[in-house]
Amino acid sequence: MSSNTNYINAKTGFASWALTIDHKRIGLMYLVSIMTFFLVAGVFALLLRTELLTPANTIMDAKRYNQLFTLHGAIMVFLVIIPGIPASLGNFMLPLMLGAKDVAFPRINLLSYYIYLFGAILALSSLWVGAIDTGWTFYTPYSTTTDGGVVLMVTAAFVLGFSGIFTGLNFIVTTHKLRAPGMTWFRMPLFIWGIYATAVIQIMATPVLAITLLLLIIERTVGIGIFDPVLGGDPVLFQHFFWFYSHPAVYIMILPGMAVVSEIVTVFSQKRIFGYKQIAFSSIAIAVLSFLVWGHHMFVSGQSELVGMIFSVLTFLVAIPSGIKIFNWLATMYKGSISLKTPMLWALGFIFLFTIGGITGIFLGTLSVDVHLHDTYFVVAHFHYVMVGGTFMAFMGGLFYWWPKITGKMYSEFWGAASTLMVVIGFNLTFFVQFIMGSQGMPRRYYSYLDQFQIYHQISTVGSYILGLGFVMAIWTLLRALKTGKPATKNPWHAATLEWTHTEVMPIEHNFHEQPTVNEGPYEYH
Amino acid sequence: MDSLKELLAMKLPVLSFWSSMPEAASSYASEFDSLYYFLLWTGLGLFLLIVVPMCWFVMKYHRRDEHQKALSQRDYNYKLEVAWTFLPFIYLAVCFFWGFIGFLDVYTVPVNAKNLRVIGQKWNWTIQYPDEEISVSGQGVVVGVPVDENIIFTMSSQDVLHSFFLPNFRIKQDVLPGRYTTLWLKADKVGEFPIFCAEYCGDNHSNMLAKLKVMPRVEYDAWVDGIKNADISLSPKELGAKLYQTKVCVTCHTTDGTTKIGPSFKGLYGSIAELTSGKKVKVDDSFIKEHILTPSKTPIKGYPQVMPPFQGQLSEVEINALIEFIKSFK
């Protein structure tokens, strides 16, 4: 058997990709799609920041601004971060890490990609009808009364939900049924635990979103009063429904990020992960608690004070498993042999930024403090620290970590490190000042603002340019490696998980030449 | 608007100490700040507790040659796991209770209080004073209140969600259509403080501003009298010009012949308008009145149907004034 065949060169031609049921190719197709939408929505963000250089009309009017922040949010949430790590890296790595030939339902896997693509096309076609200006949260009754392609965009989110459900279902069954002989639950890499917990949330929470969005569509098209008080509905009901999904969705976004970091920290410290079971069970705890905290988005919405109190308590509880993970990562580094290669830099950046995101989350979970900070830039900053500083840093870390396995090439360490640094600096410039603005009362989603906020907005805008450049550099570093990168070895990081130890430089079509068997944990560094 | 922004600028700190909160204008706001700074400093401590060891480990255990092994493979410590699972409970419990106490203060409405009614509407606030029998309205409207008295705002929305946000009092409450919500404050400082709409409500969301003017009682009474007398002494056209601003007709209608969202007032009176049904009507006094009160009954071709109804919001005197105002742009 030639060692030169791999999943890329095994078959060629358009159909070999379009009709592939290889989880690795599907993962790659997801990766390309997700990164494309990331760049599009990233450019929207830069346009928004440019508009905010002055409180007056800098480059666009208020209507256009409102449409752009809606699109930025909707694309980033529904097309980039939610599918993000699970659909791309998860799809590629989960069977490899479990020692399986593929996911449990390869055809459903392909179907979920096409549903994703269809949803994406629907979302973009809403631009044709008229860009929507509701914010990505679609709050009623604004969303049921404004112009634009609200129905199309909401339908897109509805369709995209099914893609997530199928992927989640696939991962759960694969994890249960296709583990290699000897791979017990506690010998699974922590990445699998994280992706598994994510999949559980995805299949349980997404149907609620689907129902909510369907009700919204019915109200807009047929005029049945569900949320709009003019028709006898209740607008706060929409918020309950929406956040019942969208808060768990926040954990759909962050759990895979934590899962990637768990892998990187142990491999680049060459030390067994500290508190394996604590990290694994904290993922499950987060998954369970994530369903019980939605009301913390609504402390000032008019819900009862008792309900607010209960949600505040539950919100604080969810902070604990997140803290457990961070402390265990630190303990893993203690007395390790720490290598500062690019993936580890992204992971350290994750810990740095996610900690700030987590601590500011305590501010927002504290009832009276949230009353002041709700709907200000403080929330915007917190959310971005968690979603970009957290999830997206981990996503980039995972890409740099697995890039040699995915492409068979090593990238430039120099440019990898430089891009990480750019992103961390740019990110903090962009978003740290937003905490200050927010605490001083600058409301979010404001096209114009009072003059005294201008200096903060300008710092933030400059930061966003650096941040954007950093991401472009990172992606460029990865792409350049395809052409000019040195050939990778089978296991350049000396990792101990199956995707590194039992595969070729690039995995073959069916992953392994023979079925691997497992007789020790995933982090035994000899 | 510019003068409003200048005034507000004085009340919010400009690039002062990085964590400083806006000026506290009530005793609640001062209590709030104690909690906020507690969270800020303990949060900073927590941050250092994580980041300092992280950097320390990176330096101390940095891999110096390729074959360097970890110094230990220890992967579990019962006491540590218990510590970082349960110690945070104590800290978080303190945060919770402190925040909960403040939250009760915000939502426990006092018994003896002056009642004001707040109506949110795209994109301005109307404040009704039932005791004084006045109301004020418009973008950037001045909302006068007496100092050291409990004020309750009973709030509702005419259209979509809004949120009544007073940063200097650290309070905020969503304003909903179809339901009443309340907010209260007791200002202990005289001055002018910004009011923002904090819930996204469309094109002019960021201009949906007002300012709370806290005055000594005597000054407040004079302010109320001033509002009462102002409207009576104005000529119809002057009153119309004022309503044009305060009822924010100005957002959509120009007076110089250029078209914004709705038709310009220039040359409008006496012209022929075409309805979406194709029917042509003359723009006379009756038509203007009907269209102001219930615009959806006479939708005009070529314009978006976004004008809010003013039924029940304008007196006969005010409608006449608006007609005279429109009539004056020939």
Who wins on pLDDT, B242 or A199?
Answer: A199
Q: Who among A308, A355, A436 is closest to B50 (CB)?
A: A355
Q: Which of B6, B66, B161 to mutate to test the interface with A (most CBs of A within 10 A)?
A: B161
**Taking 60 as the threshold, does the pLDDT of residue A94 lie above it?**
yes
B200 occurs within a structural domain: yes
Instruction: Give the domain extent around A19.
Output: 14-501
What is the tens place of the pLDDT at every residue in A253-296?
A: 999 999 999 999 999 999 999 999 999 999 999 999 999 999 99
Statement to judge: residues B272 and B323 lie in one domain:
yes
Q: Provide the CATH number for the domain around residue B286.
A: 1.10.760.10
Q: Provide the CATH number for the domain around residue A213.
A: 1.20.210.10
What is the tens place of the pLDDT at every residue in B53-71?
A: 999 999 999 999 888 999 9
Which residue type sits at A494? H
Q: Provide the CATH number for the domain around residue B46.
A: 1.10.287.90
Lowest mean pLDDT among A165-174, A234-243, A377-386, A494-503: A234-243
Statement to judge: residues B139 and B227 lie in one domain:
yes
Q: Match 């009176």 to its residue by tokens.
A: B269
Query: What residues of B are in contact with residue A439 (Cβ under 8 Å)?
Result: 19, 21, 36
Query: What residues of A are in contact with residue B304 (Cβ under 8 Å)?
Result: 147
List, as one string, the DSSP characters of A86-145. Answer: IIIIIHHHHHHHHT-SS-S-HHHHHHHHHHHHHHHHHHHHHHHH----STTTT-TTHHHH
Q: Give the β-pairing of B141-146 and B210-215.
A: parallel
- Give the helix/strand (H/E) hosting B1: none
Q: CA angle, B88 as apex, B84 and B92 as ends, to 5°?
A: 170
ipTM over cut 0.90: yes
Q: Do B80 and A331 touch (CB under 8 A)?
A: yes
The overall average pLDDT reported for chain A is 94
Q: Measured between alpha carbons, how far is A239 from A246 in angstroms, rounded to an integer? A: 10
The answer to whether the CB of B172 falls within 8 A of the CB of B199 is no
List, as one string, the DSSP characters of B147-204. Answer: TTSEEEEEEEESSS-EEEEEGGGTEEEEE-BTS-EEEEEEB-S-EEEEEEE-S--STT
Q: Which residue of B has its CA nearest to A282?
A: B85
Q: Which residues between 159 and 218 in chain A have a beta carbon less than 8 angstroms from any beta carbon of chain B?
A: none
Q: Do B176 and A229 touch (CB under 8 A)?
A: yes
Q: Do B43 and A363 touch (CB under 8 A)?
A: yes
CA distances from B75 to A373, A519, B299 (A): 40, 18, 73
What percentage of chain A carries pLDDT values higher than 90?
Answer: 83
Gap from B86 CA to chain A (nearest CA, Å): 8
Burial A480-515 (b: 16+ CB within 10 A, else e): ebeeebeebeebbbbbbbbbbebbbbbbbbebbeee
B158 occurs within a structural domain: yes
A63 occurs within a structural domain: yes
**Taking 90 as the threshold, does the pLDDT of residue B249 lie above it?**
no
The answer to whether the CB of A360 falls within 8 A of the CB of A302 is no
Q: Who among B61, B177, B202 is closest to A337 (CB)?
A: B61
Tell me, what's the pLDDT at A2? 47
Statement to judge: residues B223 and B311 lie in one domain:
no
Statement to judge: residues B135 and B196 lie in one domain:
yes
B1 occurs within a structural domain: no
List, as one string, the DSSP characters of A174-214. Answer: HHHH-PPTT--GGGS-HHHHHHHHHHHHHHHHHHHHHHHHH
Q: Return the HEC string of B23-87.
A: CCCEHHHHHHHHHHHHHHHHHHHHHHHHHHHHHHHHHHCECCCCCCCCCCCCCCCHHHHHHHHHH
- Does A355 reach chain B within 8 Å, measured CB to CB? yes
Instruction: Give the domain extent around B144.
Output: 114-231
Q: Measured between alpha carbons, how far is A54 from A72 in angstroms, rounded to an integer? A: 20
Q: Measured between alpha carbons, how far is A520 from A514 in angstroms, rounded to an integer? A: 18
Tell me, what's the pLDDT at B17? 45
Gap from A382 CA to chain B (nearest CA, Å): 14
- Does A237 reach chain B within 8 Å, measured CB to CB? no
Specify the DSSP class assigned to residue A255. Answer: H
A515 occurs within a structural domain: no
Q: Who among B53, B63, B198 is closest to A338 (CB)?
A: B63
Mean pLDDT throughout B142-159? 95
Q: Do B104 and A305 touch (CB under 8 A)?
A: yes
- Give the helix/strand (H/E) hosting A445: none
First to last CA, chain B: 27
What is the tens place of the pLDDT at every residue in A98-120?
A: 999 999 999 999 999 999 999 99
Q: Measured between alpha carbons, how far is A191 from A140 in angstroms, rounded to an integer? A: 38
The answer to whether the CB of B39 falls within 8 A of the CB of A363 is yes
Mean pLDDT throughout A408-418? 97
Q: Do A271 and B84 touch (CB under 8 A)?
A: no
CA B182 to chain centre: 14
Q: Who among B20, B61, B99 is closest to A369 (CB)?
A: B99
Query: What residues of A are in contact with residue B261 (Cβ under 8 Å)?
Result: none
Residue A231, burial from CB neighbour count under 10 angstroms (0-12, 13-18, 19+): middle
Statement to judge: residues B198 and B261 lie in one domain:
no
Residue A102 tokens read as: 């593929």
What percentage of chain B carries pLDDT values higher than 70?
Answer: 94
Q: Who among B76, B106, B204 is closest to A368 (CB)?
A: B106
Task: Give the number of other Cβ atoms within 10 Å of residue B34's Cβ.
Answer: 11
**Taking 50 as the threshold, does the pLDDT of residue A48 lie above it?**
yes
Residue A104 tokens read as: 């449990």
Query: Of A315, A271, A269, A276, which Cα lies nearest the Cα of A292?
Result: A315
What sign for the dihedral angle of Cα A195, A196, A197, A203?
positive
CA B267 to chain centre: 36
Query: What residues of A are in contact with residue B205 (Cβ under 8 Å)?
Result: 62, 66, 445-447
Q: Do B172 and A375 touch (CB under 8 A)?
A: yes
**Taking 90 as the threshold, does the pLDDT of residue A221 lie above it?**
no
Task: Give the number of other Cβ atoms within 10 Å of residue A106's Cβ.
Answer: 17
Q: Is A510 helix (H, G, I), strand (E, B) or coil?
A: coil
Mean pLDDT throughout A454-470? 96
Tell me, what's the pLDDT at B18? 46
Mean pLDDT throughout B306-330? 84
Tell me, what's the pLDDT at B16? 41
Residues 6+ apart with CB under 8 A from B66: none
Q: Which of B231, B259, B294 is the last residue of a domain?
A: B231
Please give the tally of structural domains in chain A.
Answer: 1
- Give the helix/strand (H/E) hosting A244: helix A235-269
- Does A313 reach chain B within 8 Å, measured CB to CB? yes
Lowest mean pLDDT among A322-331, B201-210, B248-257: B248-257
Q: Which of B82, B160, B162, B197 to mutate to test the interface with A (most CBs of A within 10 A)?
A: B160
Tell me, what's the pLDDT at B1? 43
Q: Do B177 and A230 touch (CB under 8 A)?
A: yes
Q: How many residues does chain A have?
A: 526
Query: What residues of B are in contact with residue A447 (Cβ under 8 Å)?
Result: 205-206
Query: Of B248, B330, B256, B322, which Cα lies nearest the Cα of B289?
Result: B322
Query: Of A327, A189, A354, A343, which Cα lies nearest the Cα of A268?
Result: A343
Mean pLDDT throughout A154-169? 94
Query: What residues of A are in contact with residue B75 (Cβ under 8 Å)?
Result: 271-276, 332, 523
Burial A295-309 (b: 16+ CB within 10 A, else e): bbbbbbbbbeeeebb
Beta partners for residue B183, in sequence order: B153
Q: Give the β-pairing of B171-175 and B210-215.
A: unpaired
Tell me, what's the pLDDT at A5? 87
Statement to judge: residues B295 and B189 lie in one domain:
no
CA distances from A514 to A177, A179, A292, A517 (A): 18, 14, 44, 9
How confident is residue B3, by pLDDT bands cut at 50, 70 and 90? low
Q: Do B178 and A446 touch (CB under 8 A)?
A: no
Strand order from edge to edge, sheet including B141-146: B141-146, B210-215, B191-197, B162-166, B171-175
Q: Who among B12, B50, B107 is closest to A440 (CB)?
A: B12
A183 occurs within a structural domain: yes
Specify the DSSP class assigned to residue A390. Answer: I
Q: Do A440 and B167 touch (CB under 8 A)?
A: yes
How confident is residue B6, by pLDDT bands cut at 50, 70 and 90? low
Tell me, what's the pLDDT at A435? 95
Mean pLDDT throughout A501-518? 94
Q: Is B275 helix (H, G, I), strand (E, B) or coil?
A: strand
CA A380 to chain centre: 16
The overall average pLDDT reported for chain B is 88
**Taking 80 as the threshold, does the pLDDT of residue B20 lie above it?**
no
Residue B304, burial from CB neighbour count under 10 angstroms (0-12, 13-18, 19+): exposed
- Does A130 reach chain B within 8 Å, measured CB to CB? no
Strand order from edge to edge, sheet including B134-138: B134-138, B124-129, B114-121, B150-157, B181-186
What is the tens place of the pLDDT at every residue in A352-390?
A: 999 999 999 999 999 999 999 999 999 999 999 999 999
Q: Measured between alpha carbons, how far is A66 from A47 in angstroms, rounded to an integer? A: 12
The answer to whether the CB of B274 falls within 8 A of the CB of B301 is yes
Q: Measured between alpha carbons, how far is B25 from B171 in angstroms, rounded to an integer? A: 11
What percentage of chain B carries pLDDT values higher than 90?
Answer: 52
Q: Who among A272, A336, A445 is closest to B61 (CB)?
A: A336
How confident is residue B238, by pLDDT bands cut at 50, 70 and 90? confident
Q: Which of B191, B212, B231 is the last residue of a domain?
A: B231
Q: Provide the CATH number for the domain around residue B179.
A: 2.60.40.420
**Taking 50 as the threshold, does the pLDDT of residue B15 lie above it?**
no
Q: Which of B200, B231, B262 is the last residue of a domain?
A: B231
Q: Measured between alpha carbons, how far is A211 from A176 in angstroms, rounded to an integer? A: 28
Query: What residues of A are in contact with residue B57 (Cβ under 8 Å)?
Result: 330, 333-334, 336, 338
Please give the tally of structural domains in chain B.
Answer: 3
